Structure 1
Amino acid sequence: MDKIIIKNARANNLKNVSIEIPLNKYIAFIGKSGSGKSTLAVDVILAGYYKSSGDVIVPVKPVLFKQKVAVASQSCSLLKYITGKDEIAHNDLTIYDYCRNRSLLNLSQEDIHFIVNALCMDNVRMDCDISTMSLTLYNKVRFMKLLINSDAKLFIIDELCAGMMFEEATNIAQVYSFLITKGFTVIAIEHSLPVINAAEYIVELGPGAGRNGGKVVFSGDISLYRNTQSWKTFIESYKQVADTSQGSKRNLKLALIKYNNLHISDLKIPLDGIVAICGGMASGKSSLLEILYRASDKSVDAWKNREGLDGEISGKNYIRRPYIIDQTPIGENSMSTSATYTGIMDTLREMFFSSEDNRNVKLSKSDFSCNSTGKCNHCRGRGYFDSEIDDENVFVPCEKCGGSRYNDRGNSVYLLGHNIGQFLALSCEDAYALLNENNLNNSVKQKLGFLKSVGLPYLCLGQPSGTLSGGESQRIKITKELAKKLGDRCLFLLDSPSKGLFVTDLYDVINMLKMLVSKNNSIVIVDNNPLFIQNSDWIIYLESGKPVYEGKPKDMPNTIKKRLGIEVEL
Structure 2
Amino acid sequence: MELPSKSGPFVFDYEGLVEKITRLFILRKQENLSQRVKEQIAPFLRSGPCPTCHGDRYCQRVLACKIDGRNLADWCRMEVDELLPLVRSLTGEVEAPIAAAIAEKLQQLQDVGLGYLNLGRETATLSGGESQRVKMVRHLGSTLSDLLYIFDEPSIGLHPRDLPFLGRLFAGLRDRGNTVLVVEHSREVMAMADWAVDIGPGAGEQGGEVVYQGPPNGLAGCESATGRALRRPLRLAQPRPLGEWLPLEAGQENNLTGFSTAFPKGAVTALCGPAGSGKSTLARAFCRQYPEAVLIDQGGIGASPRSTPATYTKLFDEIRTLFAAANGVPAARFSFNSKGACPDCKGAGYVYTDLAFLEPVRTTCKTCQGRRFGEEVLAYTLRGKNIAQVLELSVEEALDFFTEPKVVRSLRLLQEVGLGYLSLGQPVSTLSGGECQRLKLAAQLRKKSPLYLFDEPTAGLHISEVERLLAIFRRLTGQGSTVLVIEHDLQVVAQADWVLELGPGSGRRGGELVFAGTPAQLAEEKTATGLCLGQALL
Instruction: Find the counterpart in structure 2 of residue 539 from structure 1.
Output: 499
Q: Cα offset for 1:236?
A: 3.5
Cα distance in 1, alignment partners of residues 429 and 351 from structure 2: 11
Q: Tell whether 2:256 aligns with 1:254.
A: no
Q: Cα offset for 1:246?
A: 2.1
Structure (1/2) with the larger strand percentage: 1
Residues 202 and 222 of structure 1 are in contact (CA less than 8 Å); yes or no, is this contact kept in structure 2?
yes
Q: Which has the higher contact order (CA 8 A, sep 6+)?
A: 1
CA spacing shift, 1:561–1:121, aligned 2, 3 Å:
closer
Q: Please give the secondary structure, in 1, of the residue aligned with 2:154.
A: coil
Instruction: Find the counterpart in structure 2 of residue 293 from structure 1.
Output: 287
Q: Any stretches of 5+ residues in structure 1 without a counterpart?
A: 1-69, 81-87, 103-107, 298-320, 387-394
CA spacing shift, 1:245–1:424, aligned 2, 3 Å:
farther
Q: Tell whether 2:261 aligns with 1:276.
A: no
Residues 191 and 500 of structure 1 are in contact (CA less than 8 Å); yes or no, is this contact kept in structure 2?
yes
Q: Tell whether 2:517 aligns with 1:517.
A: no
Q: Any stretches of 5+ residues in structure 2 without a counterpart?
A: 1-28, 34-46, 48-54, 59-70, 89-95, 353-360, 504-509
Residues 410 and 446 of structure 2 are in contact (CA less than 8 Å); yes or no, is this contact kept in structure 1?
yes
Q: Tell whether 2:88 aligns with 1:119.
A: no
Instruction: Find the counterpart in structure 1 of residue 404 from structure 2.
Output: 441
CA spacing shift, 1:187–1:365, aligned 2, 3 Å:
same
Q: Tell whether 2:423 aligns with 1:430.
A: no
Instruction: Find the counterpart in structure 2 of residue 406 from structure 1.
Output: 373
Cα deviation code 1:71-102 (max 9, x no counterpart):
97799x9x99xxxxxxx96643669989x989
Instruction: Find the counterpart in structure 1 of residue 446 from structure 2.
Output: 483
Name whichever of 199-208 and 232-241 sits farther off: 232-241
Cα deviation code 1:280-307 (max 9, x no counterpart):
111011111111110122xxxxxxxxxx
Equivalent residue letter for 2:512: K
Cα distance in 2, alignment partners of residues 407 and 121 from structure 1: 56
Work out which of the residue numbers 111, 120, 125 in structure 2 matches 1:132.
125
Equivalent residue letter for 1:459: L
Q: Cα offset for 1:163?
A: 3.1
Cα deviation code 1:346-376 (max 9, x no counterpart):
1222333455xx68xxx76434211123334
Q: Cα offset for 1:467?
A: 4.4
Q: What percent identity do the matched residue pairs reach?
A: 28
Q: Cα offset for 1:522?
A: 0.8
Cα distance in 2, alignment partners of residues 385 and 147 from structure 1: 43
Q: Please give the secondary structure, in 1, of the residue aligned with 2:259.
A: strand
Residues 109 and 134 of structure 2 are in contact (CA less than 8 Å); yes or no, is this contact kept in structure 1?
no
Residues 423 and 431 of structure 1 are in contact (CA less than 8 Å); yes or no, is this contact kept in structure 2?
yes
Instruction: Find the counterpart in structure 1 of residue 50 from structure 2.
Output: none
Q: Cα offset for 1:503?
A: 1.7
Cα deviation code 1:238-261 (max 9, x no counterpart):
513443542214231436x21121
Q: Please give the secondary structure, in 1, of the residue aligned with 2:242.
A: coil
After TM superposition, the structure 1 = structure 2 runs for residues 32-431 of structure 1, keeping only pairs within 5 Å, are 91-92=74-75, 116-144=109-137, 153-230=147-224, 233-254=228-249, 257-297=251-291, 321-330=292-301, 335-355=306-326, 365-376=331-342, 379-383=345-349, 398=364, 400=366, 404-415=371-382, 418-431=385-398
Equivalent residue letter for 1:483: R
CA spacing shift, 1:184–1:248, aligned 2, 3 Å:
same
Instruction: Find the counterpart in structure 2 of residue 528 from structure 1.
Output: 488
Residues 128 and 158 of structure 2 are in contact (CA less than 8 Å); yes or no, is this contact kept in structure 1?
no
Cα deviation code 1:378-405 (max 9, x no counterpart):
654345799xxxxxxxx97856566544
CA spacing shift, 1:276–1:145, aligned 2, 3 Å:
same
CA spacing shift, 1:150–1:458, aligned 2, 3 Å:
farther
Q: Please give the secondary structure, in 2, of the residue aligned with 1:549.
A: strand
Cα distance in 2, alignment partners of residues 119 and 403 from structure 1: 48
Cα distance in 1, alignment partners of residues 499 and 117 from structure 2: 29
Q: Please give the secondary structure, in 2, of the residue aligned with 1:204.
A: strand
Q: Cα offset for 1:263?
A: 1.4
Cα distance in 1, alignment partners of residues 364 and 72 from structure 2: 44
Residues 149 and 179 of structure 2 are in contact (CA less than 8 Å); yes or no, is this contact kept in structure 1?
yes
CA spacing shift, 1:469–1:216, aligned 2, 3 Å:
closer
CA spacing shift, 1:92–1:456, aligned 2, 3 Å:
same
Residues 196 and 213 of structure 2 are in contact (CA less than 8 Å); yes or no, is this contact kept in structure 1?
yes
Q: How many pairs are equivalent?
A: 444
Cα distance in 2, alignment partners of residues 538 and 214 from structure 1: 39
Work out which of the residue numbers 448, 456, 461 in structure 1 matches 2:424.
461
Residues 269 and 500 of structure 2 are in contact (CA less than 8 Å); yes or no, is this contact kept in structure 1?
yes
Instruction: Find the counterpart in structure 2 of residue 314 from structure 1.
Output: none
Cα deviation code 1:509-549 (max 9, x no counterpart):
11111111112221111001111001101111111111111
Cα deviation code 1:180-214 (max 9, x no counterpart):
11222222221111111111121211112222222
Higher Rg = 2
Q: Cα offset for 1:148?
A: 8.1
Cα deviation code 1:139-172 (max 9, x no counterpart):
3333445778998922222222123221222322
Cα distance in 1, alignment partners of residues 392 and 178 from structure 2: 38
CA spacing shift, 1:272–1:141, aligned 2, 3 Å:
same
Cα distance in 2, alignment partners of residues 345 and 465 from structure 1: 14
Q: Please, what TM-score do these two structures have when normalized by structure 1? A: 0.67
Equivalent residue letter for 1:234: A
Name whichever of 126-135 and 493-502 sits farther off: 126-135
Question: Which contiguous aligned blocks of 4+ residues in structure 1 show a shift greater than 6 angstroms?
Answer: 70-75, 95-98, 108-114, 146-152
Structure (1/2) with the larger helix percentage: 2
CA spacing shift, 1:471–1:123, aligned 2, 3 Å:
same
Residues 272 and 529 of structure 2 are in contact (CA less than 8 Å); yes or no, is this contact kept in structure 1?
no
Q: Cα offset for 1:447?
A: 0.7
Instruction: Find the counterpart in structure 1 of residue 63 from structure 2.
Output: none
Name whichever of 143-152 and 172-181 sits farther off: 143-152
Equivalent residue letter for 2:201: P
Q: Please give the secondary structure, in 1, of the residue aligned with 2:185.
A: coil
Q: Cα offset for 1:271?
A: 1.7
Residues 219 and 227 of structure 2 are in contact (CA less than 8 Å); yes or no, is this contact kept in structure 1?
no
CA spacing shift, 1:118–1:466, aligned 2, 3 Å:
farther
Cα deviation code 1:40-86 (max 9, x no counterpart):
xxxxxxxxxxxxxxxxxxxxxxxxxxxxxx997799x9x99xxxxxx
Equivalent residue letter for 2:536: V
Residues 561 and 567 of structure 1 are in contact (CA less than 8 Å); yes or no, is this contact kept in structure 2?
no
CA spacing shift, 1:264–1:398, aligned 2, 3 Å:
farther
Work out which of the residue numbers 456, 481, 492 in structure 2 matches 1:496.
456
| RMSD (Å), alpha carbons | 4.1
CA spacing shift, 1:131–1:552, aligned 2, 3 Å:
same
Instruction: Find the counterpart in structure 2 of residue 551 from structure 1.
Output: 517
Name whichever of 550-559 and 120-129 sits farther off: 120-129
Cα distance in 1, alignment partners of residues 371 and 452 from structure 2: 35
